[in-house]
A and B are shown apart, each in its own frame.
Chain A
Amino acid sequence: MTDTATGTAPSRTTATRAMPSALKLGLSRGMVETKMFFREKDAVVFTFAFPIILLMLFGSIFAGPLEGSGVTVSQLYTAGLIGAGVMGAGFQSLGIGIAGDRDDGTLKRLAGTPMPRSAYFIGKIINVLVIAFLEVVILLAIGVLMYDLDLPGQVSSWVTFAWVFVLGVTAAALLGTAVSSLPRSAKSAAAVISMPFVVLQFISGVFIPFTQMPEWLINIASVFPLKWMCQGFRAVFLGDGGAMLELTKSYELDRVALVLGAWVIGGLVLCLTTFRWKGRRDG
């Protein structure tokens, strides 16, 4: 064999054909990621059941109206757990998922193919959006059917919902991506990533109203996106009556947008500077 390049693979002569676009491959990855997610039954149950069980638990224990607001405690929890559910899909399951991808060779394999690296992240975002959207639909259905939650009638509330959801999912997903580099292995990822998330839920007003918390804890929670995401969802689902339950007697939607927007930018910077395509074992 003197000229092996002309061997048995005729397609090599047409190597000038264009590379598949990052967007197309991102969509393809999104489909594959979503398929894999729903086939892994434990992860599906863990992701969806956690906020649902908590909502039903808290909704049953703390029934009854909150004084003077026309809002019931279970309605408050519905809004809060929607925030926690969105954050869970973005931060927790994505963070653990990427740590797993790093550990099981997914990232290394992908890095060795001509797939543009952005396609991986587009795929993850699609996956997170699907999970978060389903989570919200399920929690809302439970809220409406069991806890007399009224879905907002005005378009403006749904516009608010849309931007809080998009900004919140994005910020959570970027933070989840960044935090995925922390655990040393996939085995430790669940613990390393879930622990701060649980703490954050307790101090961000998901379970315990802010009015019952010390100021220093409120200050810590105010740094992170979950508090603001929940506040945004309360604005959508509890309406004007619930505003008086807020610390400042207002939902402060402008600040919600500002803080979530800042986390999107900060999270992006964090991802770009810390993301590892290799596991720690790989050096």
Chain B
Amino acid sequence: MTNAIQVRGLTKRYGDVQAVKGIDLDIRRGEVFAFLGPNGAGKSTTVEILEGYRKRDAGEVSVLGVDPGRPTREWRSRIGIVLQTANDAAELSVRETVRHFAGYYPNPRDPDEAIAAVGLTESANKRVRQLSGGQRRRVDVALGVLGNPELIFLDEPTTGFDPEARRQFWELIEGLAHTGSTIVLTTHYLDEAEALANRVAVIAGGQIVAEGEPATLGGRATAKAHVIWDEGSVETDTPTKTVLELSRRYDGEVPGLAVTRPTLEDIYLKLIEAPRD
């Protein structure tokens, strides 16, 4: 079995709202996969179905070879979920919390080692209530990786972080990826997806509207370049030629010259606009 996750024709409806409209997806083992998409696009619903939190209406889903619609304890011990909004266990210390949760797993990591891995050794005796938002998310990660999971879900892990905390957190996630675990994350931040993910799927209107490596997503690598200078701008497939021509015209330096390709954000905004019409 090469795929950690395999999805065919997944649908889910809430009342009148068709939240997920037929998603096909393969996530390979060892891959870092990011779901991008606006709120209400079906991103969370899809991930929660994969996590075994939510029942699907139709489609075939296999996560680590098991149907998440019928989660077993054995299966749960093989996946790790890092929640977005948890605010629990405030009165326990970091160490107490991690030790307690380690007891749920048949082969847990050493709790102190898990605390060290998320950089909380110095705060291990602090109550969870006293931690900053970023530290708290680190506790969530420690709990998520306690069972030595083959697959880790991270739901918007850096929402509300300051830039420095985000960078540090990215390093933490990169470290997890190096252990060989498959990582599935959802995020609003395009730079986060670009920095961490091997592959990205953009969900909009309950469908995957684009899927691929961040560098080539939505035809990004082949899109026209934009050449701008003080007295004009042009979209072209051959920016080098344009710049050479300009250089000749200005006899050297071109005033205010810039050559840009569409950013992931440009591509993303175009992608999520389309299905809303």
Q: How far is the CA of A218 from the CA of B88 in the complex (A)?
A: 41
Smallest CB gap from A186: residue in B: B87
Do B88 and A12 have beta carbons less than 8 Å apart? Answer: no
The answer, yes or no, to whether B186 is at the interface (CB within 8 Å) is no
- Within 238-280 of A, Cβ neighbours of B (below 8 Å) are at 278
Q: Which residue from A8, A14, A18, A25 sits with its C-beta under 8 Å from B179?
A: A8
A-contact 0/1 string along B56-87, CB 8 Å cutoff: 00000000000000000110111001010111
A-contact 0/1 string along B39-68, CB 8 Å cutoff: 000000000000111100000000000000
Contacts A15-B107, A20-B103, A283-B14 given; indicate if A105 touches B180 (C-beta within 8 A).
no
Smallest CB gap from B107: residue in A: A11
B142, chain A: closest CB distance, angstroms: 12
Complex interface: chain B residues within 8 A of A212 (CB): none
Smallest CB gap from B101: residue in A: A113
Contacts A9-B179, A112-B53, A113-B76 given; indicate if A106 touches B148 (C-beta within 8 A).
no
Contacts A19-B106, A32-B96, A115-B104 given; indicate if A104 touches B87 (C-beta within 8 A).
yes
The answer, yes or no, to whether A40 is at the interface (CB within 8 Å) is yes
Q: How far is the CA of A116 from the CA of B76 in the complex (A)?
A: 10
Q: How far is the CA of A18 from the CA of B14 in the complex (A)?
A: 38
Complex interface: chain A residues within 8 A of B178 (CB): 8
- Within 126-155 of A, Cβ neighbours of B (below 8 Å) are at none
Contacts A9-B148, A114-B74 given; indicate if A105 touches B179 (C-beta within 8 A).
no
Complex interface: chain B residues within 8 A of A17 (CB): 106-107
B-contact 0/1 string along A85-128, CB 8 Å cutoff: 00000000000000001001110110111111000000000000
Complex interface: chain B residues within 8 A of A111 (CB): 53
- Most B CB contacts (10 A, CB to CB) among A7, A105, A114 go to A114
B87, chain A: closest CB distance, angstroms: 4
A82, chain B: closest CB distance, angstroms: 28
Complex interface: chain B residues within 8 A of A278 (CB): 53
Q: How far is the CA of A118 from the CA of B27 in the complex (A)?
A: 33
Do B76 and A11 have beta carbons less than 8 Å apart? Answer: no
B20, chain A: closest CB distance, angstroms: 13
B-contact 0/1 string along A165-204, CB 8 Å cutoff: 0000000000000000000000000000000000000000
The answer, yes or no, to whether B92 is at the interface (CB within 8 Å) is yes
The answer, yes or no, to whether B213 is at the interface (CB within 8 Å) is no
A41, chain B: closest CB distance, angstroms: 10
Q: Which residue from B14, B86, B181, B182 sits with its C-beta under 8 Å from A105?
A: B86
Complex interface: chain A residues within 8 A of B105 (CB): 20, 113-114
Contacts A11-B148, A17-B106, A36-B89 given; indicate if A105 touches B83 (C-beta within 8 A).
yes
Complex interface: chain B residues within 8 A of A115 (CB): 104
Complex interface: chain B residues within 8 A of A211 (CB): none
Q: How far is the CA of A20 from the CA of B30 in the complex (A)?
A: 28
Do B106 and A109 have beta carbons less than 8 Å apart? Answer: no
Complex interface: chain A residues within 8 A of B103 (CB): 20, 24-25, 28
The answer, yes or no, to whether B143 is at the interface (CB within 8 Å) is yes
- Within 12-30 of B, Cβ neighbours of A (below 8 Å) are at 14, 29-30
The answer, yes or no, to whether A4 is at the interface (CB within 8 Å) is yes
Q: How far is the CA of A105 from the CA of B136 in the complex (A)?
A: 13
Smallest CB gap from B19: residue in A: A283
- Within 1-44 of A, Cβ neighbours of B (below 8 Å) are at 1, 4-9, 11-12, 14-15, 17-20, 24-25, 28-29, 32, 35-36, 39-40
Q: Which residues of B are at the interface with A, using a C-beta cutoff of 8 A?
A: 14, 29-30, 51-54, 73-74, 76-78, 81, 83, 85-92, 96, 100-101, 103-107, 109, 127, 143, 147-148, 150, 178-182
17 contacts between A and B (CB under 8 A): A1-B180, A8-B178, A8-B180, A9-B148, A9-B181, A12-B150, A35-B91, A35-B96, A36-B89, A36-B91, A104-B90, A105-B86, A106-B86, A112-B81, A114-B74, A114-B104, A114-B105
